[in-house]
Amino acid sequence: MAYWQVNKIKYIGPHQSLKSDLGFQYYNPEEIIGGKKMKDWLRFSVAYWHTFDQRLVDPFGDGTAIRPYDKYSDPMDQALAKVDAAFEFYDKLGVNYFAFHDRDLAPEGDTLRETNQNLDKIVDKIVEYQKTTGMKVLWNTSNLFNNPRFVAGAATSPYADIFAYSAAQLKHSLEIGKRVGAENYVFWGGREGYESLWNTDMKREQEHAARFFQMAKDYAKEIGFQAQMLLEPKPKEPTTHQYDFDAATTIAFMKEYNLDQDFKLNLEGNHANLAGHSYQHEIRVARTAGLLGSLDANQGDKLIGWDIDEYPSNLYETVAAMYEVVQEGQIGPHGGLNFDAKPRRSSFEPNDLFYGHIVGMDSFAAGLRVALKMKADHVLEDIINERYNSYNSGIGAQIEAGTVNFTDLEKYSLDKTQAQLRAATHSDHLEQIKDTINHYIIETLS
Ligand code: XUL
Ligand code: CO
Under-50 pLDDT residues of the chain: none
Looking from the CA of 69 toward its CB, the CA atoms found within 13 Å total 20
Which pTM does this prediction carry?
0.98
Residues with CB under 6 A from ligand 1: 101, 141, 186, 188, 232, 234, 268, 296, 307, 340
**Residue 357 CA to ligand 1 centre (angstroms):** 17
Which amino acids are annotated as binding site, given as ranges?
232, 268, 271, 296, 307, 309, 340
Closest ligand 1 atom number to CA of residue 47: 8
Fold of 26-377: TIM Barrel (3.20.20)
**Residue 233 CA to ligand 1 centre (angstroms):** 9
Atom 10 of ligand 1 has which residue's CA nearest to it?
188
Residues 6+ apart with CB under 8 A from 298: 268, 269, 270, 309, 310, 311, 312, 339, 340, 341, 360
Atom 4 of ligand 1 has which residue's CA nearest to it?
188
Closest ligand 1 atom number to CA of residue 188: 10
**3-state percent breakdown (helix, strand, coil) of the chain, nearest 5:** 50, 10, 40
Start-end of CATH 3.20.20.150 domains in the chain: 26-377
**Residue 112 CA to ligand 1 centre (angstroms):** 22
User: What distance in Å separates the CA atoms of residue 286 and residue 333, rounded to the nearest whole number?
Assistant: 13
Sequence-distant contacts of 8-15: CB under 8 A, at least 24 apart? 8/91, 8/92, 8/94, 9/92, 9/93, 9/94, 9/354, 9/358, 10/94, 14/445, 14/446
Residue 178: what pLDDT?
Answer: 99
Helices (H), 25-138: 38-42, 48, 75-93, 102-105, 112-133
**Residue 264 CA to ligand 1 centre (angstroms):** 16
Q: What's the one-letter identity of residue 91?
A: D
Residue 99: what pLDDT?
Answer: 99
Residues marked active site are found at: 101, 104
User: What distance in Å separates the CA atoms of residue 395 and residue 35, rounded to the nearest whole number?
Assistant: 39
Residue 89: what pLDDT?
Answer: 98
Closest ligand to residue 185's CA: 1
User: What distance in Å separates the CA atoms of residue 315 and residue 172, rounded to the nearest whole number?
Assistant: 39
Residue 1: what pLDDT?
Answer: 67
**Residues across the chain:** 446
